[in-house]
Amino acid sequence: MAPVKVFGPAKSTAVARVLVCLEEVGAEYELVGVHIPAGEQKSPAHLARNESNLSQSAMVDVWLEVESQTFDTAMSAITFQCLTIPTFMGGIADDKIVEENLGKLKKALEVYEARSCRFRYLAGDFISLADLSHFPMAHYLLATPHASVLDAYPHVKSWINDLMKRPALKRVRELMEA
């Protein structure tokens, strides 16, 4: 596989974040300089490297925040109660905690349903990290007795089903289930 190309100066905090992640996993990469003082980062050639624009990037950030603050918090409690406690701790789920978090999840799913009526994916009509980030918890929700909560949100259910069909997610699901 060709090395990942990282465009920008290593002194940039944004570039440094990417580099440290690549170094942590031992990924091969190539650092391609971008001359910031000359304004090269604003040149048409440089901007053409990224298919996304700033508004698309902002939408990805918004939906990652929504996921972390609403979807994931409710889902974590539900999956912990329904899967982790019975499977790994030999205990019984606390129905009160599950019901409370199902209520929170339903409120989040209402927002997702409204968005999914207008766009195929969360940040627009393109798959992004915002969508992929929802995969692990959505996968586990489908394994709980509460998967039917999605039935009231047909666009969200379709979005999740479409995500689950993606080859990369299928491969990761196999690893999660092994």
CATH number reported for the structural domain that contains residue 155 in this entry: 1.20.1050.10
| Domain encompassing residue 169 | 54-177
Which residues are bridge partners to 15 per DSSP? Answer: none
Do 115 and 72 lie in a common domain?
yes
Instruction: Please state the domain count of the chain.
Output: 2
Three-class SS of 100-168 = HHHHHHHHHHHHHHHHHHHCCECCECCCCHHHHCCHHHHHHHCCCCCHHHHHHCHHHHHHHHHHHCCHH
| pLDDT tens, position by position, 28-80 | 999 988 888 888 787 888 777 776 677 788 888 889 998 899 999 999 999 99
CATH code of residue 41: 3.40.30.10
> Tokens 């990805």, residue?
60
Gap between the terminal Cα atoms of the chain: 26
Q: What is the total residue count of the chain?
A: 178
Do 8 and 76 lie in a common domain?
no
Do 43 and 62 lie in a common domain?
no
| pLDDT tens, position by position, 112-136 | 999 999 999 999 999 999 999 999 9
Do 102 and 144 lie in a common domain?
yes
Do 85 and 14 lie in a common domain?
no
Do 69 and 133 lie in a common domain?
yes
Chain mean pLDDT for the chain: 91
Do 91 and 169 lie in a common domain?
yes
Query: Which pLDDT belongs to residue 51?
Result: 67
